[in-house]
Amino acid sequence: MKDKLHIVVIGGGFAGLNFVKRLYRNKFYDITVVDRNNYNYFTPLLYQVATSFLEPSSISYPFRRLFRRKNVAFRMATVNDVDTAGKRLHLGDGSELTYDILVFAAGSKTNFFGNENIRQHSFSLKGIDDALFLRNELLKNLEKASLETDPEARRRMLTVVIAGGGPTGVEVAGMLAETKKYILGNDYPTLAKAPVNIHVIDGAPNLLAPMSAKTHVAAFKTLNKLGVHVKLNTQVKDFRNGSVELSDGTAIEAGTLIWAAGVVANSFNGIAPESIGRGKRMITDAFNKVKGYTDIFAIGDISIQFTDDRYPDGHPQVAQPAIQQGKTLAKNLLRLAKGKPMQPFRYFDRGDMAIIGRQFAVADLFRHKLHLGGLIGLLGWLFIHVMSLVNYNNKIKTLYNWAVAYATRDQALRLIFRPGNRENRG
């Protein structure tokens, strides 16, 4: 009997994990997942970790536990480069890994658009490490502000600018506004009457730009009601010496800049330049096969397809296309193994959702044909996000944390951890 082909998957996010789950215990392929982390995490809820409303373990789960008895191998490593001729990967730990079929599912990273000041001094939110770092810094800033006697210095410390009015920016702003309203004065009595300013800056004419007109209006009104300052048709151009410089020539003195203004695909040495398209995404055909290769595929944020006439500029870099591409490619490789033709990918848009604060969410479902807001939108958002978590353990933890936060308007997760500080053992 012929040996199984070896599929190597780079990345265990939405695309990679949904691809692998459809190949559990299959009889045609051996699977190895390579990821720089030893856990999967739920990206849409990172902002709740960063704002102390969820703990990291609520939205993350170890790969080795997920893949136990599933006939899937796991390697915790980074990929330095790809030898496409020799069908091998050179990993960051100095080892090599050979493949018969390679699947890129490594997602995207924050796009700072070449601005080194912003890259060095702002906070991004693309992983658990980012979320914990931001949480630590926000809390440390409050500790410093509680002791500051200079009103102007305190005002600057308590000013947060969020660049980007998409889901991440809007949701972070909402949670910070909730903290300001219900928690700040209780935890920090000296800051009870201190001015806390939260700004959302976006270059588009509306918040949550890809969503419906009703959502644009609802998001703006809700943030405004929560005391968030929203400035549209304006871009953050630089961040120097505690000053956020805007494209209209004005500036905001701020202690914190959170950058949520765009992403770019992760890239890998060894892939031909002609296979790379806009945003460093790999150009793929209708079956997610990378241009110029017969044994390399790309799914999720790292892929761009021009074969779907409803999305001539490629699919949006959000969770649903990644999930659906992962599932479709797995089915296609099983079809291929059985001698059947592959089927082209067609994206089914289930809609977009965002939550603003603790009591309001918006949802545009089925290509914006159905708009939900208020309590119904909130319940829909809660249901979709809980059901999307990878494990029952995550679902239970998250529901519990949300119930506590909703009932008490508080959450006892405002802890500053310093993983770099270790006792000197001599």
Which sequence positions are flagged as catalytic?
171
Torsion of CA 207, 210, 212, 214, to 10 degrees: -10
Degrees to nearest 5, angle at CA 393 with 387 and 398: 60
Degrees to nearest 5, angle at CA 220 with 384 and 53: 45
Distance CA(363)–CA(378), nearest Å, equals 9
Distance CA(51)–CA(89), nearest Å, equals 37
User: Taking a C-beta distance cutoff of 8 angstroms, is the pair 296, 10 a contact?
Assistant: no
Give the CA radius of gyration of the chain. 23
